[in-house]
């Protein structure tokens, strides 16, 4: 059992179903995520992984079922309100502001905690500048926490970063909202083995610094899935196929069939 087994449940999905017209993209999926836990979400393309993250973050409203953050129901809330409640995410495709600096991209992630508006900038210039300065200092500390190398590039335009550093920057920007739950959608996409190893080291260091942070990671790289998550949830055709440790789920024939096909699964047992 993972060390987090006794920790409180911070995020829970109950009987989540998502229909798009006549297409059922997700059918009665349950999950729990505990404080300090890393939950891996795996499955073939089209299994419903990104649909699950979109439901959790308010981009989709489930056709039925519910999502609860620290016991409070959040499905149906606007996406920005869910961020404010403590859930942040990254996306498969980059959402960075390429013309802005690395530091400025992280400052933008602090928007939920910046109270000054346009009127403050006009009438209370000192207050607005002080708040912006504090946000920049917080952003710099986040960059250091995620990657010292990324911090060294904090004044570089985000568009000039290599792929691995862009992924790290997306994580740092998501952390800027001070989430209780961080959702990572294919964080190692486009990385080679060395970059993926560095990413795993960064995530481990982050979890050591923030032991209460809960992570949900969608990932195709099985080296990462085998190394990081405490538990793994397997989706296939929008249904929960299996759940357990990586070693437990990889031994299940139905999981092997979902990834390899029936012929490949039989060969794997030969």
Query: For every residue of 23-88, which 3-state class applies, written as one string?
Result: EEEEEEEEEEEECCCEEEEECCCCCCHHHHHHHHCCCCCCCEEEEEECCEECCCCCHHHHHHHCEE
Q: Count CA atoms within 13 Å of residue 266 on its CB side.
A: 2
pLDDT digits (tens, 9 = 90+) for 58-96: 999 999 999 999 999 999 899 989 999 999 999 877 788
pLDDT digits (tens, 9 = 90+) for 201-245: 999 999 999 999 999 999 989 899 999 999 999 999 999 999 999
Domain boundaries, given as residue ranges, for the chain: 1-86+179-270, 100-178
Residues of the chain with pLDDT > 90, as a percent, come to 60
**Hey, is 98 helix, strand or coil?**
coil
Calculate the alpha carbon distances from 14 to 6, 17, 239, 240, 255 in Å.
Answer: 20, 9, 13, 12, 22
- Cβ(87)–Cβ(78) under 8 Å? no
Whose structure tokens read 């500048």? 129
Q: Is the pLDDT of residue 33 over 90?
A: yes
Q: Which of 197, 213, 265, 267 is nearest to 236 (CA)?
A: 265
pTM value is: 0.85
Q: What pLDDT band is residue 122 in, cutting at 50, 70 and 90?
A: very low
DSSP state of 101: B
Q: How far apart are CA 235 and CA 166, in angstroms?
A: 28
Q: Which CATH number fits domain 1-86+179-270: 3.40.50.300, 3.75.10.10, 3.30.559.10, 3.40.50.2300?
A: 3.40.50.300
Beta pairing, strands 38-42 & 231-236? parallel
Whose structure tokens read 């996406």? 79
Q: Is the pLDDT of residue 171 over 50?
A: yes
Beta pairing, strands 239-244 & 214-218? unpaired
Residue 123: predicted pLDDT = 45
Calculate the alpha carbon distances from 113 to 93, 104, 122, 135, 150 in Å.
Answer: 25, 15, 19, 9, 23
């Amino acid at each position: 059992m993972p060390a987090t087994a006794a920790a409180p449940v911070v995020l829970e999905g109950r009987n989540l179903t998502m229909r798009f017209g006549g297409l059922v993209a997700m059918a009665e999926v349950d999950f729990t995520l505990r404080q300090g836990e890393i939950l891996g979400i795996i499955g073939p393309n089209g299994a419903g992984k990104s649909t699950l993250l979109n439901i959790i973050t308010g981009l989709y409203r489930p056709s039925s079922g519910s999502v609860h953050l620290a016991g409070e129901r959040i499905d149906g809330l606007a996406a920005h309100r869910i961020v404010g409640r403590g859930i942040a995410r990254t996306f498969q495709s980059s959402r960075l502001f390429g013309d802005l600096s690395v530091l400025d991209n992280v400052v933008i992630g602090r928007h939920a905690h910046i109270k000054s508006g346009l009127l403050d900038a006009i009438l209370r210039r000192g207050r607005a500048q002080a708040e912006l300065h504090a946000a920049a200092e917080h952003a710099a500390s986040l960059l250091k926490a995620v990657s010292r190398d990324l911090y060294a590039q904090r004044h570089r335009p985000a568009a000039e970063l290599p792929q691995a550093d862009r992924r790290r920057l997306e994580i740092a920007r998501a952390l800027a909202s001070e989430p209780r739950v961080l959702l990572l959608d294919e964080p190692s996409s486009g990385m080679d083995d060395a970059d993926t190893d560095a990413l795993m080291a960064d995530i481990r260091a982050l979890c050591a610094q923030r032991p209460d942070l809960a992570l949900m990671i969608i990932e195709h790289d099985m080296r990462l899935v085998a190394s990081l998550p405490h538990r793994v949830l397997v989706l296939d055709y929008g249904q929960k196929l299996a759940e357990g440790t990586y070693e437990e789920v990889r031994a299940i024939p139905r999981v092997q069939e979902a990834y390899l096909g029936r012929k490949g699964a039989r060969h794997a047992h030969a």
